[in-house]
Structure 1
Amino acid sequence: MESTEGEGSLEPEIQFTEIETTAECLDGSLIFHVVKDTIGFILYMHQQIPSILQDITLEFDLMHTEYKELEVDLAKTELKASLRRKHIGRMREVKQGIRKMEKFMSTISSLQTALQLLISQIPNIHEVILVLGTSPIRPRHVYQLCFSHANPAPSAEANFIKGKTAEGLSRKAIRALISKDAGSSSYPGPTKLFLMVKAPTSVNLPLHFLPKRDFRYSKKIVPFRLRFRCRTQGLKIDEDHNSLPGRSTGIDFSNDLIWFQCRHAIKGIAFKTPEEE
């Protein structure tokens, strides 16, 4: 399902793909997991990681576990010399693997923590932009996620546990992006992924987010745009929103909302693609 909204006589129409959920509201947990899974999709489809993010996370955890087990084995005095040499060699390999991935995994963890902290402050986030490129203003690809809050989320603290509703909403989002050929074009070599969030000026998380009031990206870039809403809010809500002047994103516009850039930019992992091997 698609909708279009004009940006003015000189601007092209904005096309949104509508994503509906049966949930009564788009709470912080739903938004967190949609953004998190979209980040994983972007990194994998644009060849910034060698496998899906869940597999990389599991592999990283397993390497840490294996390294600790090898350390325990080496501490045993009865270990044979040949087996000890084998363990030392394997420990060296595992440690190299950990070092190769630890900066990436640390940034992923920091970004997710930052997003959770922001959502805990502002559960009704309106818009997120994910930029893949050398900088937010010089993107290669842009993914725009808008969240309609006709039914505001309760102020209760989000638990960020991924339930069936969040799983289903993420799958819908990924399918919608694939149907629009998202990720079909990639560039060799690692680049960066930036998280931009539109939120009230009252947000105060200086260790994680910096205000970027004048954030703009090149008009040459055509973004992939998804808009999430609750099925129960009905079509009238969108009609009322569409009648508001001066909007550029298809969501509630307010002078109190500005862009914030997450300080934890994710840099892709260098690896050989099948074509290079």
Structure 2
Amino acid sequence: METTSSLGADERRGPGSVEVQVAAAALQRSEVFHVVKELLGFVLYMHHQIPSVLQSLETEFAGLKEEMSEMTAPLAELKPSDQRKYNTRKREVRCRVKKQEKLMKGISTVLSAFQQALDKVSTIEGVALILGGSLAVRALISCGAGSLSYTGPTKLFLLVRCPCTLNLPLDFAPKREFRYSKKQVVPQQMSIKCNTAYYQKNNKHVASIVDPSCCTSESSPSDVIWFQCKHTIRGLPCKASLEG
């Protein structure tokens, strides 16, 4: 599989790497979850796999579901013209909910699995987001191809990098041979560096989710492997995304 976007996945820096310095000693579980969710939504939106930014999409979907539930309640007698408008709106809402439901369920399931991993594992050294269900599509996307070059919906995979001795939830499977070809794929990386000195001085007994030394640990490289989430997110068709 090929990496298209990652958080603290590799110590090496390249042209596609972004480093963020934070004053905190270490990121808390809730902060790691928020960062990964934001990156996930960013990747999906920038490659036109979702019709709007994730926060707006969640708000819209919740509103549509609420409206649909209200429409199931019995109404007082309406004029024929009002009844036609009501039925038209009801069909429209039902259609939009049906179109987005599988996507939103996929996003929710992946994020829920990641939250369980954060709750169960004391140290996660990296997170990778892979966009594209096939080698050719992943290579195009990672090299900068967006909706103008590839218009179809595709899959997004989530992987976490942890010591192999840790027991992740059943939603994750070990991927010991996870690699990507640098000739075919140009990964975009984001590394978060915490305040190591502050951590060592004031937080000696605080466990961190992202290692304060920027995703390095005492474990040897062979002891740290990738685990892939068994759930995936499939984007919406580009035409539907553009029409909103």
Do they fold alike, i.e. is TM over 0.5? yes
The number of residues matched between the two structures is 213
Secondary structure of residue in 2 paired with 1:112: helix
Distance 1:274 1:105, change over 3 A: closer
Distance 1:203 1:23, change over 3 A: same
**Aligned match of 1:223:** 187
2:48/2:241 contact within 8 Å kept: no
Distance 1:183 1:51, change over 3 A: farther
After alignment, is 193-202 or 112-121 more displaced? 193-202
**Aligned match of 1:30:** 31
Q: TM-score, normalised by structure 1?
A: 0.67
Structure 1 residue 250: Cα displacement: 6.6
Distance 1:275 1:55, change over 3 A: closer
Task: After superposition, give the CA deviation of every residue in 1:113-156 in whole Å (9 maximum; x if it has no partner).
Answer: 000000001142101111111148972345xxxxxxxxxxxxxx
Partners of 2:134 and 2:84 in 1: CA distance: 46
Identity of aligned residues (%): 42
**Aligned match of 1:20:** 21
Partners of 1:59 and 1:211 in 2: CA distance: 36
Secondary structure of residue in 2 paired with 1:139: helix
Structure 1 residue 183: Cα displacement: 5.9
How does 1:98-117 map onto structure 2 within 5 Å?
Answer: 98-117=97-116
**Aligned match of 2:216:** 251
Partners of 1:233 and 1:46 in 2: CA distance: 39
Structure 1 residue 83: Cα displacement: 2.8
Partners of 1:83 and 1:70 in 2: CA distance: 14
After alignment, is 80-89 or 185-194 more displaced? 80-89
Letter in 2 for 1:227: S
- Pick one of 217, 227, 239 that aligns with 1:272: 239
**Aligned match of 2:48:** 47
Task: After superposition, give the CA deviation of every residue in 1:215-238 in whole Å (9 maximum; x if it has no partner).
Answer: 11222211111211213548xxxx
1:138/1:218 contact within 8 Å kept: no
Task: After superposition, give the CA deviation of every residue in 1:168-190 in whole Å (9 maximum; x if it has no partner).
Answer: xxxxxxxxxxxxxx967442211
5+ residue gaps in structure 1?
7-12, 143-181, 235-248
Secondary structure of residue in 2 paired with 1:18: strand
Secondary structure of residue in 1 paired with 2:72: helix
Structure 1 residue 265: Cα displacement: 1.1
What RMSD, in angstroms, separates the aligned Cα atoms of the two structures? 3.1
1:18/1:229 contact within 8 Å kept: yes
Work out which structure has the larger RCO, using CA pairs closer than 8 Å and 6 or more positions apart in sequence.
2
5+ residue gaps in structure 2?
1-9, 199-213
